[in-house]
Amino acid sequence: MAAILRLDEAIREFVHDGDTVALEGFTHLIPFAAGHEIIRQKRRGLTVIRMTPDVIYDQLIGAGCVSKIVFSWGGNPGVGSLHRLRDAIEKDWPNPIAVEEHEHAGMAAAYAAGASHLPFGVLRGYVGTDLPEHTSVRFIDCPFTGEKLAAVKAHRPDVSIIHAQKADRKGNVMMWGVVGAQKEAVMAAKRSMVTVEEIVDDLNAPPNSVILPAWVVGAVSEVKGGAFPSYAQGYYARNNAFYKQWDNVAKDRDTFAQWIDRHVMNTKDFAEFKKSIEGAPAHA
């Protein structure tokens, strides 16, 4: 059974310096609260995996938690660049970071292989692109047809962290809507933790709707609004205004540092963080 822990306890127990960590989420259900707690607890030297690193990875990178990123699309969706990611890659600030870059189909195959405990995933991919020179891809011959296929090394994170809508008191996790690669990320990981909008007595779950049964989840933490400014379908909408305003915060090193200091380092938890940005979501 999954342990029901406070988020700060779960991060303390599950995430260590130097770990390979996947905070997955594809636009929907991004584990922002968990990312903030990693920043608050000053984890360093992390290798972070994510198909679509967005604003929370920008914050982790700018706060100095990250030494390597493994990804396939790193931007602020619909807005533009992740300025902290760019500053780290282009100018080594606040520290140099290594980059392992994929295409989405490859990242998806790497997670599925990790979840299957296979050494690599196979796909008809990485063709017509310069990416193979910069990533962990090899080409193999199909043993049946001889077709040349791409093999991508499996993702096996030390810990995967996701946000979901609901869990029960045993830690069975229900999640719906855009579910991304979250199930695979959890199944591929050595340890896993899930933040949820609410923990309830009875999920009243229709068949197929419990994505992760309690016994494959390490810990569950209740964090209301824990995916803000992304969204949790059935609970709250995506705060697109925050994503747009983030561009101004992240553009400038000092503005960013002040924002992290004031809104993350000097708040005790995600509820306090959200109170601190009321009225001016993304201004320092």
Partner 1 sequence: MPDGVSAYTADEMMTIAAARMLRNGASCFVGIGLPSAAANLARLTHAPDTVLIYESGCIGTKPNVLPLSIGDGELSETADTVVSIIEIFTYWLQGGRIDIGFLGAAQIDRYANINSTVIGDYDRPKTRLPGAGGAPAIAANCGEVLITLRQNKRAFVEKLDFQTSGGHMEGGDSRANMRFPGKGPTAVITDLGIMTPDPVTKELTLTSVHPGMTVDAVVAATSWMLKVADSVGTTPVPTGTELSVLRDLQARTAKAHAGQN
What is the C-alpha R_g of the chain?
19
Closest separation between CB of residue 76 and partner 1, Å? 9
| Residue 245: both structure tokens together | 């305003």
Instruction: Tell me, letter by letter, the H, E, C secondary structure of 69-112.
Output: EEECCCCECCCECCHHHHHHHHHCCCCCCEEEECCHHHHHHHHH
The string over 166-200, giving b where at least 16 C-beta atoms fall within 10 Å of a residue's C-beta and e elsewhere, is bbbeebbbbbbeebbbbbbbbbbbebbbbbbbebe
| Residue 273: both structure tokens together | 């963080």
Closest separation between CB of residue 84 and partner 1, Å? 11
Closest separation between CB of residue 120 and partner 1, Å? 15
Cβ proximity to partner 1, 104 vs 224, nearer residue: 104
Q: Which residues pair with 23 in a beta bridge?
A: 161
Cβ proximity to partner 1, 43 vs 155, nearer residue: 155
Cβ proximity to partner 1, 118 vs 178, nearer residue: 178
Q: Which residues bind partner 1 (CB under 8 A)?
A: 26-28, 51-52, 71-75, 77-79, 81-82, 85-86, 89-90, 101-105, 108-109, 111-112, 123-131, 134, 147-148, 177-181, 183-184, 231, 233, 236-244, 281
In angstroms, the CA 11 to CA 183 distance is 19
Which single residue is written with the structure tokens 């929907």?
A: 28
Closest separation between CB of residue 236 and partner 1, Å? 8
Cβ proximity to partner 1, 15 vs 85, nearer residue: 85
Cβ proximity to partner 1, 2 vs 97, nearer residue: 97
Closest separation between CB of residue 201 and partner 1, Å? 27
